């Protein structure tokens, strides 16, 4: 499990992004290099994805074409953004 997570962190870094995955408390490396400010906002992204998955067409991806699927996601995001 630990080596798989290290591979994931390395892949994220190679793509030019910053991994916001905290290490275990008993880790030898520690979390000194962790950006806790960015970690606080991570839940917003996770919650947005969870709300998008409530729409069946997005969760199961009925559309064949990528552009149609992206359009459906954009419509769902707009629908979620509008106040009810």
Amino acid 28: pLDDT = 81
pTM beyond 0.85: the answer is: no
Confidence of residue 15 (pLDDT cuts 50, 70, 90): very high
**Is there a contact between 76 and 52 (Cβ–Cβ < 8 Å)?**
yes
- For 27-77, the pLDDT digits (tens) are 888 778 788 888 888 888 888 889 888 888 888 888 889 999 999 999 999
Amino acid 56: pLDDT = 87
Amino acid 67: pLDDT = 92
| 25: DSSP letter | T
Pick from 64, 59, 42: which is nearest to 73 by CA? 59
């Amino acid at each position: 499990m630990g080596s798989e997570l290290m591979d994931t962190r390395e892949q994220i870094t190679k793509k030019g992004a910053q991994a916001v995955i905290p290490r275990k408390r008993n880790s030898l490396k520690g979390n000194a290099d962790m950006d806790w400010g960015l970690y606080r906002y991570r839940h917003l992204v996770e919650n947005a994805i969870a709300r998008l998955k409530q729409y069946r067409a997005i969760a199961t991806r009925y559309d064949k074409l990528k552009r149609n699927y992206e359009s459906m996601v954009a419509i769902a995001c707009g629908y979620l953004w509008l106040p009810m």
